[in-house]
Amino acid sequence: MRDIQNVYIIGLGAIGGAYGSRIMENCPETLKVLVGGSRFENYTKNGVSVNGKEIRFKYVKPGSTEEKADLIMIAVKNHHLEQTIRDIGPLVGPDTIILSLLNGITSEEMIGGVFGMDKMLYSFCVATDAVREGTNISFSNIGKVVFGDRDNSAASDKVKAVKAYFDRVKLPYTVPQDILRELWWKFMLNVGVNQISAILRAPYGRFAREGYARDLMTDASREVINIAQKAGVHLTEEDIQEYIRIISTLSPEGKTSMLQDVEAGRKTEVEIFSGTVCDLGKKYGIPTPMNDLLFRLIRAIEDS
């Protein structure tokens, strides 16, 4: 089995910062953060704090090393992915494992199309309420990483290596039998709660209880269920109830990543949420009126 000793995180937002801080608590010698441009100067000058504690990450500029990584964890926004793929190129060796923690259902193929799908493990994070404000990151629930091969009937060498590393750094994880179904489940969750929270400026607490906010969330999610079933992925109404149960475990004041983006005036990931739903709806001949509307509403918010 591979021994993971040299790890890079790309993207020091809420997720990258939270998971990076856990690694720094337990195996700091294994971790570096790849960061360029003004962010490098900002982080090295001002530092990054997680739950009120300054974390002394080791920062590395893209192109400054050709040292090969054992594991690369990508935690950027989707609109930064193309640049990230260019930045990590020198770090990818024959035995490098790549985890893409991005939202959506397309990033693995984009990265694997450049470096080879043999480098990839499908992955996402769930049940975290991490929030970033400037260089300050906070969370009450770190959640977990869900990852695996396309076929998880038998654990591969890559999966075993990442499991062993996550055990060492005490990062919670799950390896499901059907990772593609789980990816679609997380996509359904994001399409629902991320977009409605951004429009309503609503924290998780609004969706943990019955009401119009939750109704809107489930209406958007049902369009994903209809498309998933046409695409051969078995999602049901029970999957919506499962993510409502997860939302109820998060901080009521916690915020989705899209709500954080809207409040900070940043570009959102609407293209990979309702944008993808609408595109797939056209492909499969399935109406998506709710997500058609959500796409235009969020675009209007961005324009303002």
What are the C-alpha distances in Å from 83 to residues 19, 54, 61, 290?
22, 28, 13, 32
pLDDT at residue 228 greater than cutoff 90: yes
pLDDT at residue 48 greater than cutoff 90: yes
pLDDT at residue 296 in the model: 99
How confident is the model over 110-161, as pLDDT tens digits?
999 999 999 999 999 999 999 999 999 999 999 999 999 999 888 999 999 9
* pLDDT classification of 22: cutoffs 50, 70, 90: very high
Kindly report the CA angle at 191 between 189 and 194, in degrees rounded to 5? Answer: 85
How confident is the model over 93-124, as pLDDT tens digits?
999 999 999 999 999 999 999 999 999 999 99
Q: Average pLDDT for residues 195-206, to the nearest whole number?
A: 98
- In this structure, the strands spanning 144-148 and 131-133 are unpaired
pLDDT at residue 153 in the model: 87
The string over 244-275, giving b where at least 16 C-beta atoms fall within 10 Å of a residue's C-beta and e elsewhere, is bebbeebbeebbbbbbbbbeeeeebbbbbbbb
DSSP-assigned letters across all residues of 47-73: -EEETTEEE---EE-TTS--PPPSEEE
Q: Average pLDDT for residues 206-225, to the nearest whole number?
A: 98
pLDDT at residue 115 in the model: 99
pLDDT at residue 211 greater than cutoff 90: yes
Domain layout of the chain by residue ranges: 7-177, 180-303
Domain 180-303 is found in CATH 1.10.1040.10: yes
The region, left, alpha or beta by phi > 0 then psi within -120 to 50, assigned to residue 135 is alpha
pLDDT at residue 1 greater than cutoff 90: no
| Residue 143 three-state SS | coil
Q: Average pLDDT for residues 66-86, to the nearest whole number?
A: 97
pLDDT at residue 14 in the model: 96
pLDDT at residue 83 greater than cutoff 90: yes
| Beta carbons within 10 angstroms of residue 72's beta carbon | 24
In the CATH scheme, what is the homologous superfamily, with its name and number, of domain 7-177?
Answer: NAD(P)-binding Rossmann-like Domain (3.40.50.720)
Compute the CA torsion angle 81, 87, 88, 91 (nearest 10 deg). 180
Average pLDDT, whole number, for the chain? 97
pLDDT at residue 69 greater than cutoff 90: yes
